[in-house]
Structure 1
Amino acid sequence: MSSTRPSALIADDEPLLRSSLTRMLTQVWPELEIVAEARNGREAVEQYQKFKPTVCFLDVHMPGMTGIEAARQIGRGVHLVFVTAYSEYAVEAFTQGALDYLVKPVDPARLADTVARVRERIGTSQEAPDIDSLLDKLEARMQKKAAAEPLRWIKAMVGQSLRMIPVASIDFLRSDEKYTLIAWRGDDGKAAEALIRSSLKELLDQLDASDFIQIHRSVVVNINMVSHVIRGENETATVFMKGREDKLPVSRSYLHHFKQM
């Protein structure tokens, strides 16, 4: 690796999002070398210590260690760009302009602006800023969001009608690229589905954790609507919903929800 070539680390727990960001960076910053990827904050710290990249793109929300916690451990001397599903975090935490952010889904034009700013800092040998106070603001904003009242309704277009779907009537949610499939029961008790343009992670953070649990990176279920669970091979399982034929996968990372099996 050339010492003069800028390098980057991309940390996000969603493989498709890592691939998408890599592809867009290749287009807007051809000389940038992606030296490492990470699935969570702990891996991000490990990969940073190994490769010492010029810039780190860190997802704010990652399992285990968050992007903010990873940034604290990575420390100074690297240019940080946070990736978040919540623009309000960015408005409050980054108004000083010392750090940069991208809102999911990442817009190519916004990415180009971010890259231009980072390249300017690198080109002028400007040191990465003291980030502690900004991270404090971002973390406080996240905690405030987490303490907010759980989501009660979800808006969705069904045909030509705007429906207000009661969260309590939802069976499960499943990610579908840029969209999330909402599976719920209508007023007549029949199964219904709709696609909304929100990430699964964004919705999960707003749902009541006592009712909704993640069982797979792409699936969240309403535990009250679960009929039964069948244990599979290699520490996996399948969830069956009441009154539905859907078979929902439980990955190894989330099998602890059913540890009594």
Structure 2
Amino acid sequence: MKKRVYLLDDELLALEELKVLLSPFDDLEIVGACDRVEHAIQECNELKPDLIFLDINMPGKDGFEFLESLEEVRDVIFVTAYDQFALKAFEVNALDYLLKPLNPKRLAEAIQRVRSKSQPSGTTHEERLSADKKIFIKDGEKCHFVPISKIYLLESVGNYVRVFYENQQPLLHKSLTYLEQKLPTDLFFRANRQYMFNLDFIDQIEPYFNSTLLIVLKSGHKIDLSQRQSAKFREITGV
């Protein structure tokens, strides 16, 4: 099955060169290319490509801000004229970091990284993200590429959601309702208007007031469920 590829660079000549260099790779299909970040955000959210070739220094938003704006990020290869962003690129789990002018041999090595990385097939148009995917979060100057399975708690904070994973708590500019619609229902449970938690991180389930439940996570967080959500939780888990 071909990998669906999207190209983003603010230089049209660079886009055309990349198209030519990628043409020998029969297992890649270029589904879109753009020189404008805002338009590329819209297209990538619709197309959900398997792989994005991405410049960093661009007008309006840089490459990292572009990734933050996407609903879903799979694999990324940065293509840029600047080497000072390499460390930051690998902090967001980029598959590779290629310097311009592109070296065909280095490009081939990057494509091999893509090929060697196993991905489940047939998930291109799924509405929900699966547990093995990652979400990209740019919180201030820090970038996070967060495995969904490691998120144990989501907290609504105004127009943001605080994402708890490992020892990190970055803020994501999305609503809790939006994440409820995107995250796997067999893994995450919406407790109330403020919290959603990962079922795999439950430590204790305690009886609470008026037939409600109190959920204690392994992190020590305590979350009380309403009567309705307590009934739903019992139905789902058999508690």
TM-score by length of 1: 0.45
Q: TM-score, normalised by structure 2?
A: 0.49
